[in-house]
Amino acid sequence: MITTNTASRLLTAAALIVGIALPMVLSDFHVFQATQMMVYAIAILGLNLLTGYNGQISLGHGAFYAIGAYAAAILMARFELSYFVALPLAAIICFIVGFLFGLPALKLEGHYLALATFALALAVPQLLKYPAFEHWTGGVQGIFVNKPEAPFGIPLSTDHWLYYFTLAVTLLVFVLASNLLHGRVGRAITAIRDQPVAAEAMGINIALYKATTFGVSALYTGLAGGLSAIVIQFIAPDSFTMFLSIFLLVGLVIGGVGSIPGAFLGAAFIVITPNIASDISKAATGAVYGLLLITFVYLVPNGAWGALTVGWKRLAGMTRRS
Amino acid sequence: MDLLIQQIFSGLATGSIYASLALALVMIFNSTNHINFAQGEMALISTYFAWTLIALGFPYWAAFPLTIVASFAFGVLVERLLIRSFHNAPHLSLVVVFIGLLLAFNALAGWIWGFLLKEFPSPVRNLNTGTPLIAAHELFVLCVTLGLLAVLYIFFRFTTLGLAMRAAALNPTSARLVGIRVGWMLALGWGLAGALGAVAGMLVAPIVYLDPSMMIGILLYAFASAMLGGLNNPAGAVAGGLIFGVVENLVGTYLIGHELKLTFALIVVIAVLLIRPAGLFGKVIVKRV
């Protein structure tokens, strides 16, 4: 019999092999899409840490994505840093911003936090356009970033190199998140979500944990934003509207709240749907997202990954009985 | 000096629009503790509905009440068909449902009516107030919203149905025991909220032009107003709307410029939540753990 632990390791290994082999069979455009999917998966994982595991609802993670993207782009374009340096720096900046935003957010519960983060999501694009910051942010024009070439003379096209670079980052941050969530810290984070009073009685410093989770969550989403700036090589305020925050939420709910692999399913969904839906109407993506959000909360509250696991367990149960 | 008075009147006018939408939010929050993120988009649909009626040749004064009635029915319908099933759902599920509605209604408006700016008529466009201090439409907005608030006050204060609705919001269990149909009172609350939103939408459309993104910003201002006045106090929300409208307009004109209005709303929301979460006039909620 296969235990859950071995099953998840086998699955991870299989996914990794597919991930490495994928660029050899896909066209350049699809490689780009796969890269973008991984970027979104990291962002959704960040949101999941906060909303899924810690129970703090954020409708404004697009703001941290934007801050990560702008930090990385400014460091690369204005300070001429390599993306190897700019990316971790952008992530650290996002951690600090997230931690600081998380401190006052501690006082807010449920709907109030949703409201405050919603306001953040609406305000950030406006701040990015503000003429006084134009020297740094490029205003409405945005910032162009140089396309990174493969280093050390590795014989890969830029698109393929970016794909493998993103794959490596994704693997790293997912393994870290999985370790974090399956250990003592992860149990504390979920305990705060489920039973805050009991968690406090057990000696968990709720304020510190909540603010730090906010910081780590912003770090993940900001890292994804930084990666997106490198992958797309261009950023502008209009890429970071309130709808970006909502789309991350869509990815989270569709993929599965409180599940790590669900982030990939959710990311795939938000990358692929607009391509199909925009053929029908400019408004079709929003309509599909909106209706699916409501349907999923109603019928599939654990998201696609939750439904898959339940289905798999039923199937395994059936074969064992026969 | 004239500019200052002008800006105050103009702020009062937009503030009264925020007050209407804030009142819609408070009406739902008071009875169910839900923050309806889709309130703005429901108002958007109502405004497009009114635009269609006028485009079909209805006079403004027929389209206006027709839209209010239709929006009332729309609000009741949304509550009965959808929100009711999530009544005791966790916070996250509810927020996700409201965001789902926001996306769906926004997309619906874009799908049916397109993304081009549309001009929405004001019945007093060609009139002159005889003073440069206040524009005709601003005066009209003030009169309509203040009249509407008076009607609502009379409804809640002096009618049996209003009393029943207040009772259902204040103490659902006891209200049910004396024979009030609490479920329907909530649906009526949603209907009234829908109607208020429709008025806000129709009044703001001549100022900002009608397009599918029109209400998102207004919704944030309404949130800020409701927070400022106290999310559980209807009169406070109205005062919050007027205060926010005036302050926002003055700050925009004299200090930070109009490019940072949304940021100003963000600062107000966060400042209120940090310093006085119950708002200026709200009741402090004490929770037993």
Per-residue HEC secondary structure of B214-271 comes to HHHHHHHHHHHHHHHHCCCCHHHHHHHHHHHHHHHHHHHHHHHCHHHHHHHHHHHHHH
Q: How high is the pLDDT of residue B149?
A: 85
In chain B, which residues have their Cβ closer than 8 Å to the Cβ of A274? none
**How large is the average pLDDT for residues A276-296?**
85
Q: How high is the pLDDT of residue A131?
A: 76
> What is the distance in angstroms between the Cα of A160 and the nearest Cα belonging to chain B?
35
Which of the four pLDDT bands, split at 50, 70 and 90, describes residue A321?
low
- Confirm whether A303 is domain-assigned: no
Range of the domain at A163: 4-241
ipTM for the complex shown: 0.87
Nearest to B92 among A123, A257, A294 (CB): A257
Q: How high is the pLDDT of residue A1?
A: 45
**How large is the average pLDDT for residues A254-277?**
88
Which residues have a Cβ under 8 Å from the Cβ of A309 and sit 6 or more positions away? A259, A302
Q: Is A301 within 8 Å of B93 when comparing Cβ atoms? A: yes
Return the residue of A nearest to B221 by Cα: A119
Take residue A181 and report the two structure tokens written for it: 């969530």
Nearest to B103 among A257, A282, A286 (CB): A286
The letter for the amino acid at B219 is L
Average pLDDT, chain A: 85
Residue B110, chain A, CB below 8 Å: the answer is yes
Average pLDDT, chain B: 88
Q: How high is the pLDDT of residue A297?
A: 86
Establish how many alpha carbons lie within 13 A of residue B188's alpha carbon, considering only the half-sphere containing its beta carbon.
17
The letter for the amino acid at A39 is V
- Confirm whether A263 is domain-assigned: no
- Confirm whether A251 is domain-assigned: no
- Please say if the pLDDT value at position A322 is more than 60: no
In this structure, of A130-144, A269-283, B45-59, the range with the lowest mean pLDDT score is A130-144
- Please say if the pLDDT value at position A76 is more than 80: yes
In chain A, which residues have their Cβ closer than 8 Å to the Cβ of B221? none
Residue B105, chain A, CB below 8 Å: the answer is yes
Q: How high is the pLDDT of residue A218?
A: 94
Determine which of A111, A113, A280, A295 to mutate to test the interface with B (most B C-beta atoms within 10 Å). A111
Take residue B286 and report the two structure tokens written for it: 């004490």
CA B218 – CA B19 distance, rounded (Å): 10
Q: How high is the pLDDT of residue B242?
A: 92
Q: What are chain B's domains?
A: 2-275 (1.10.3470)
- Confirm whether A299 is domain-assigned: no
- Confirm whether A153 is domain-assigned: yes
Residue B185, chain A, CB below 8 Å: the answer is no
Q: pTM for this structure? A: 0.90
H/E run at residue B105: helix B91-113
Per-residue pLDDT of chain B (289 residues; tens, 9 = 90+): 788 888 888 889 889 999 999 999 988 888 888 889 999 999 999 999 999 999 998 998 999 999 999 999 999 999 999 888 887 788 888 889 999 999 999 999 999 998 888 888 888 877 777 777 778 888 888 888 888 888 988 998 899 998 998 888 888 889 899 999 988 999 999 999 999 999 999 999 988 889 898 898 899 999 999 988 888 888 888 899 999 999 988 888 887 777 788 888 888 888 888 888 777 887 776 666 6
| Structural domain count of chain A | 1
- Confirm whether A306 is domain-assigned: no
> What is the distance in angstroms between the Cα of B161 and the nearest Cα belonging to chain A?
29
Q: How high is the pLDDT of residue A4?
A: 65
- Confirm whether A174 is domain-assigned: yes
- Confirm whether A313 is domain-assigned: no
